[in-house]
């Protein structure tokens, strides 16, 4: 006899519908709204009451998670209440850096504008998948329009360009290399990579270069780093030409050349137009395809918002300290028009993680090169079906929605204002450093918002000492000694930050350190891993930061220096 169809009566005290959001507008919608309100109130309860607070969420600074302990978790027979689960969720945010806090000056972090927050959160309610039209429907407009806006800003024909949102700047690197290999090594998609094609990038390039060359199977050894100029940290075109000519003469294919368009430490823009001219002069051998020119613009892209700004009329009334670097950055980033592709991170300074897009100028070439056969279970109901050529198959609309909302909500004026805010703050902090000859900013010539600071014991001429350490190998030991000194200061500041230590009634800011801003001049090939420049990193870009916060950061750095000096004296 056939078993009767289950009706759910066999577990009548367990209504599974109570665990899932209703697909219709019924009474459960009110309950769902209350649950979401409870969740938002709960997470907001971790925020401090005022700006005079530590730059992490909650009260407990301890890192309580250990891998060994976490790996003992097992599934319980019964679930917990929503309130209990919510409390578990909220507790994991305890101690997490509060990225938008005015005392968070650690890096170029996600600052969640309201438009991006709403777009990202609402997308999770219905999980559109920008794979093909059936699963994405009209939400695909976020990816399409965002890409069109960026293409237009870059000076490309938006009707012929395209963009794919992906899992971060590393994803953009991966896409550019896959594009390059498919273009330069015909048949490599079917037969695999059997030729040692080269990838060229500057010494300032992001370490994602290692990920992409490794994970594509090309191999890290096929990465060639081009020297950077000491004064500007930009790619040394003369060295690039030497490498390209050598590859040309030996018929070694170059898969891609990557220009860095502003980096976390050095706001340096590689000369894209000059690189393009060299690629035209030294093309790959006829048996290979054309080298791809990619711009890693995940930070630098936003300066395109100044593209149509009237610097002479200056309608936003920016001070000269903003106008000059903004104009230089805008002029530099506009060379992106000569690239074949570039990457963008909206989550650097504007929106929640992850919101990155890989842009390509020739949509037809890219999509044909990477096209795959259709899947039997995907039904194409519209004219936009990126599943043919994307790496990802589960493609949440969250990132593209956040980016689209950011572009619509802020507009060019809003983006310019955010960038100008950072420049204005950097200029102010440089002014505040003038009374302290024992401190020097080692990236003063850069046109970005970050300050990289070296501080020495009192009565030291920091500018002179740094110049000697940078240029004279006779000062190598002093360079290493002071690098260690700066690292100890950074560790002390980190300790104070996590301990919620107050200086003159104000909490210690969250700062960071770079352990390789640049190699010393006598170590330009970076063969000596110790002859590099350490510096305290200060990013005064929070939209809520005040001048008092910036002065306080300098005061804390100096006090931490004093304590380290005292500790070293005791040890001696």
Angle at 190 between CA 189 and CA 192, to 5 degrees: 70
Same domain, 167 and 297: yes
91-100, 205-214, 553-562, range with the lowest pLDDT: 205-214
Same domain, 367 and 509: no
Structural domain boundaries enclosing 50? 27-98
Asked if residue 551 is part of any domain, the answer here is yes
| Confidence check: pLDDT of 97 > 60 | yes
Asked if residue 383 is part of any domain, the answer here is no
Same domain, 364 and 289: yes
**Taking the CB of residue 450, how many other CB atoms lie within 10 A of it?**
25
Mean pLDDT in the chain? 94
| Confidence check: pLDDT of 333 > 90 | yes
Domain boundary among 358, 373, 388: 373
Segment 346-368, tens digit of pLDDT: 999 999 999 999 999 999 999 99
Same domain, 364 and 445: no
Q: Where are the beta strands (DSSP E) in 304-348?
A: 341-345
Same domain, 442 and 545: yes
Question: Residue 171 corresponds to which tokens in the numbers above?
Answer: 């994803």
Same domain, 309 and 164: yes
Domain boundary among 62, 80, 98: 98
Q: How confident is the model at residue 376 (pLDDT cuts 50, 70, 90)?
A: low
Model pTM score: 0.94
pLDDT value for 379: 73
Segment 541-558, tens digit of pLDDT: 999 999 999 999 999 999
Same domain, 447 and 538: yes
**Taking the CB of residue 70, how many other CB atoms lie within 10 A of it?**
8
Domain boundary among 74, 98, 122: 98
C-alpha distances in Å from residue 231, one per residue of 266, 321, 486, 521 = 11, 20, 22, 10
For range 272-294, the mean pLDDT: 99
Same domain, 463 and 532: yes
Same domain, 203 and 322: yes
Among the listed residues 254, 351, 255, 257, the one whose alpha carbon sits nearest the alpha carbon of residue 298: 351
Same domain, 360 and 468: no
- Domain total in the chain: 3
């Amino acid at each position: 006899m056939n078993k009767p169809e289950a009706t759910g009566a066999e577990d009548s005290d367990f209504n599974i519908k109570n665990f899932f959001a209703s697909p219709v507008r019924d009474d459960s919608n009110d309950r769902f709204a209350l649950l979401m309100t409870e969740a938002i109130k709960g997470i907001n309860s971790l925020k401090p009451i005022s700006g005079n607070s530590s730059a992490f969420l909650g009260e407990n600074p301890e890192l309580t998670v250990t891998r060994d302990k976490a790996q003992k978790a097992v599934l319980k027979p019964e679930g917990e209440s929503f309130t209990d689960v919510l409390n578990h969720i909220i507790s994991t945010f305890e101690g997490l850096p509060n990225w938008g806090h005015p005392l968070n000056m650690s890096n170029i972090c996600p600052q969640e504008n309201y438009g991006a927050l709403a777009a990202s959160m609402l997308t999770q309610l219905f999980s559109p998948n920008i794979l093909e039209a059936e699963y994405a429907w009209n939400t695909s407009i976020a990816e399409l329009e965002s890409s069109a806006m960026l293409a237009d800003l870059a000076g490309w024909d938006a009707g012929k360009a395209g963009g794919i949102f992906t899992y971060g700047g590393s994803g953009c690197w991966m896409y550019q290399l896959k594009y390059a290999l498919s273009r330069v090594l015909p048949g490599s998609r079917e037969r695999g990579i059997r030729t040692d094609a080269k990838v060229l990038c500057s010494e300032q390039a992001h370490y994602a270069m290692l990920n992409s060359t490794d994970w594509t199977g090309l191999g890290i050894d096929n990465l060639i780093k081009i020297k950077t100029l000491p004064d500007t940290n930009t790619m040394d075109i003369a060295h690039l030409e030497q490498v390209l000519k050598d590859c040309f003469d030996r018929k070694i294919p170059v898969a891609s050349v990557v220009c860095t368009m502003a980096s976390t430490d050095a706001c340096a823009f590689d000369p894209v137009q000059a690189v393009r001219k060299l690629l035209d002069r030294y093309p790959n051998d006829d048996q290979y395809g054309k080298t791809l020119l990619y711009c890693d613009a995940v930070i630098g892209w936003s300066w395109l918002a100044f593209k149509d700004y009237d610097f002479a009329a200056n309608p936003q009334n920016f001070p000269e300290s903003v106008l000059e670097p903004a104009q230089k950055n805008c002029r530099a980033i506009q060379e992106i028009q000569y690239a074949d592709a570039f990457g963008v991170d909206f989550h650097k300074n504007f929106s929640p993680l992850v919101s990155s897009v890989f842009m390509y100028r020739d949509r037809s070439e890219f999509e044909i090169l990477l096209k795959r056969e259709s899947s039997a279970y995907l039904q194409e109901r519209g004219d936009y079906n990126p599943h043919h050529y994307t790496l990802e198959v589960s493609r949440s609309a969250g990132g593209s929605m956040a980016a689209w909302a950011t572009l619509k909500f802020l507009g060019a004026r809003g983006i310019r204002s955010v960038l100008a805010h950072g420049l204005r703050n950097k200029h102010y902090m440089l002014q505040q450093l003038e009374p302290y000859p024992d401190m020097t900013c080692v990236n003063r010539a850069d046109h970005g918002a970050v300050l990289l600071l070296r501080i020495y014991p009192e009565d030291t001429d920091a500018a002179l000492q740094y110049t000697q350490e940078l240029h004279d190998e006779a000062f190598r030991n002093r360079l290493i000694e002071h690098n260690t000194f700066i690292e100890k200061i950074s560790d002390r500041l980190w300790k104070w930050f996590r301990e919620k230590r107050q200086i003159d009634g104000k909490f210690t800011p969250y700062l960071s350190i770079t352990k390789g801003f640049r190699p010393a001049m006598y170590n330009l090939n970076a063969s000596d891993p110790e002859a590099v420049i350490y510096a305290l990193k200060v990013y005064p870009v929070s939209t809520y930061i005040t001048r008092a916060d910036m002065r306080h950061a300098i005061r804390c750095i100096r006090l931490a220096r004093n304590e380290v000096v005292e500790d070293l004296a005791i040890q001696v």
